[in-house]
Amino acid sequence: MEEKKRDSFSRETEGLSSYEQLTAPLCSEISNGTICCDRTGLRSDVCVMKGDIRTNSASSSLFLFTSTKNNNNTKPEKIKPYTRKWETSVMDTVQELNLITKDSNKSSDRVCDVYHDVPAVFFSTGGYTGNVYHEFNDGLIPLFITSQRFNKKVVFVIVEYHDWWEMKYGNIVSQLSDYPLVDFSGDSRTHCFKEATVGLRIHDELTVNSTLMINGNETIVDFRNVLDRAYAPRIQSLVQEEANETTTVDFKKPKLVILSRNGSRAILNEDLLVKLAEETGFNVEVLRPDKRTEMAKIYRSMNTSDVMIGVHGAAMTHFLFLKPKTVFIQIVPLGTDWAAETYYGEPAKKLGLKYIGYKITPKESSLYDEYGKDDPIIRDPDSLNDKGWEYTKKIYLQGQNVKLDLRRFRETLTRSYDFSIRRRFREEVPRLLVT
């Protein structure tokens, strides 16, 4: 039997559909004293517990105390609360939790240090956390999806907790929960809940499917509205800090942000790109974020832009910070077509952005001079990708830079400028009529 073709960008994603299910998820309604696990999803497992629930971090366990009768009908479960279930290599690194029923008559096991009168959601910030794409795709958006039905009356319990993660994303988390985070392993106290969801639901790459939401019809636009609320106070303070600074920026011009990269997949003639964009009529900002860059500052730059340009990579996740109807230009290096469209192109369209995928020609790639026009790396990138993820990573992701053909790229810039001017005009006319 012919071996199933593997796309190296999807690693172990064979069989993943765009949306996992089109009906209400399992375990959305369960009786008291029950553990119910939904393992039908290809991307994640989710278990729900209801009743007298108590944490025991030393044994990586959640105990559900119930009567002997119910205890006999509820088998123990194990779950890794991370949303890349199909990818065994990373799931092997994720902490596993034990969900165990205990006899409620054994009171010596039932000491409660902290009682919570709202439900809990348990999830891991292990795995690929540290990469901004995975932090949003595998964590924050699934957390939004899973917690919306609680209307902020929920406690988040983090497995594999990191201080830096809370510092980086605390503003967003505070929009989803009214309660402090709990560090599952670092807090040895017994936390008690009446209901717990263990694991997060995920719909697709960087998106929210309204038809799968429990008790709601939220979309990815609603998640972006959460970001707006999360960063608004800090952005307001930034505006006040800059109020006395002199500026020569012409705010009548559309703003274009270039997300700059260092190392691989850099735009080698970025300075000439800036000059061309300015000649086209844009105010240009070159943004070079790193792991220490404050998220609110990145959000502010993106949120006030009309056009964003960047080369395919994790930083393209910041398209979520763009306002709907603005332009997102993703420069697509050789060998990255599928990943660029799947991970960022399609999700951007769902957010309501004007998405343009600029696929470079072989001569715009640094690989052209390195290998020559007749090498399979240039002629047939799919054949290299079919050899596996390590080939793709080494050649097309880590070993490639871009030198744009600015005569060719000028057309994309001009189209984006014209689109931005027309959009601004359409938005301005109603305001003028009102005044």
Q: What is the pLDDT of residue 248?
A: 62
Gap between the Cα atoms of 118 and 155, Å rounded:
7
Angle among Cα 222, 345, 274 to the nearest 5 degrees reads: 105
What pLDDT, in 10s, does the model give residues 149-185? 999 999 999 999 999 999 999 999 999 999 999 999 9
Judged on CB neighbours under 10 Å (0-12, 13-18, 19+), 250 is: exposed
The tokens for 23 are 């009906």
β-strand pairing of 34-38 with 46-56? antiparallel
Residue extents of the structural domains in the chain: 27-202, 255-431
111, 103, 102, 105: which is closest to 189 by C-alpha? 111
DSSP secondary structure string, 306-320? SEEEEESSGGGGGGG
Q: What pLDDT tens digit does each residue of the chain (435 aa) get?
A: 333 333 334 444 444 544 444 455 788 788 899 999 999 999 999 999 999 999 999 999 999 998 766 555 578 999 999 999 999 999 999 999 999 999 877 655 668 999 999 999 999 999 999 999 999 999 999 999 999 999 999 999 999 999 999 999 999 999 999 999 999 999 999 999 999 999 999 999 999 999 999 888 999 999 999 999 999 999 998 888 877 766 666 678 999 999 999 889 999 999 999 999 999 999 999 999 888 899 999 999 999 999 999 999 999 999 999 999 999 999 999 999 999 999 999 999 999 999 999 999 999 999 999 999 999 999 999 999 999 989 999 999 999 999 999 999 999 999 999 999 999 888 876 655 555
Beta-carbon contacts of residue 423 (< 8 Å; ≥ 6 apart): 306, 325, 326
Highest CATH level, class, for 255-431: alpha beta
